[in-house]
Amino acid sequence: VILVFAIVMFVINFNKLFPGTQQTEELAASVNGEEITMADLTTQYNTLPASYKQFITKEQLLGQMINERLLLQKANELGYSVTDEQVEQALEDAIAKSPISRSEFEARLDEQNLSLDDVRKFYRNQLIITELINDSVLSKIDVTDEDIENYYNDNKAQYQTGEQVQARHVLVNTSEEAQ
């Protein structure tokens, strides 16, 4: 984390430290030599829905982009990959689960200046990261039935609710009774 912060700060202040070494594109960060330009950051930020922009700053998005690059670099180093068929299946599954048709999906992509290739790249990266996390983290988690039962018994108050009644319709004879 400190190394990533140092790299980001170095990149941000590069032109101040070494005047006269102008770069063609302003860097937002360099992740183990892989550059994230301000243009990349702005492009990705502009694809976010307006409602998300209320909660996510460009700095937070840059942090996410750096984390994604680090995970992808590690996955690449360890030889993780996914096939084109896996990517297409993930894309088709996502469209099938959504309430819109494929043509509506593609129209929305156009509205956000995105292409199907952009979406494929996103799914490829997410599938690779998921494989890495599953193998390196989730596969090492071993929760037994006894662990679950002990946790439940230690935290029963969280799972208990008072008496509840649900009514869909209440029928009355007169409008006076309804009020």
- The whole-number pLDDT of residue 150 equals 93
Phi-psi region of 113 (alpha: psi -120 to 50; beta: other; left: phi over 0): left
- The whole-number pLDDT of residue 24 equals 63
Question: In angstroms, rounded to a whole number, what is the distance separating the alpha carbons of residues 109 and 114?
Answer: 5
Question: In angstroms, rounded to a whole number, what is the distance separating the alpha carbons of residues 115 and 70?
Answer: 24
Cβ neighbours of 66 (radius 10 Å): 20
- The whole-number pLDDT of residue 14 equals 52
Q: Hey, what long-range contacts does 35-41 have (CB within 8 A, 24 or more apart)? A: 36/62, 36/65, 36/66, 36/69, 40/65, 41/65
What is residue 74's three-state secondary structure? helix
Q: Find out whether 86 and 33 touch, Cβ atoms under 8 Å.
A: no
- The whole-number pLDDT of residue 6 equals 46
Predicted model pTM: 0.67
Question: In angstroms, rounded to a whole number, what is the distance separating the alpha carbons of residues 44 and 169?
Answer: 48
Structural tokens at position 104: 């509506």
Half-sphere exposure of 109 (CA within 13 A, CB side): 16
Q: Could you read off the pLDDT tens digit of each residue along the chain, which spans 179 residues?
A: 454 444 545 545 555 444 544 456 899 999 999 999 999 999 999 988 889 999 999 999 999 999 999 999 999 999 999 999 999 999 999 999 989 999 999 998 888 888 999 999 999 999 999 999 999 988 888 999 999 999 999 998 888 887 888 887 878 888 888 77
- The whole-number pLDDT of residue 5 equals 47
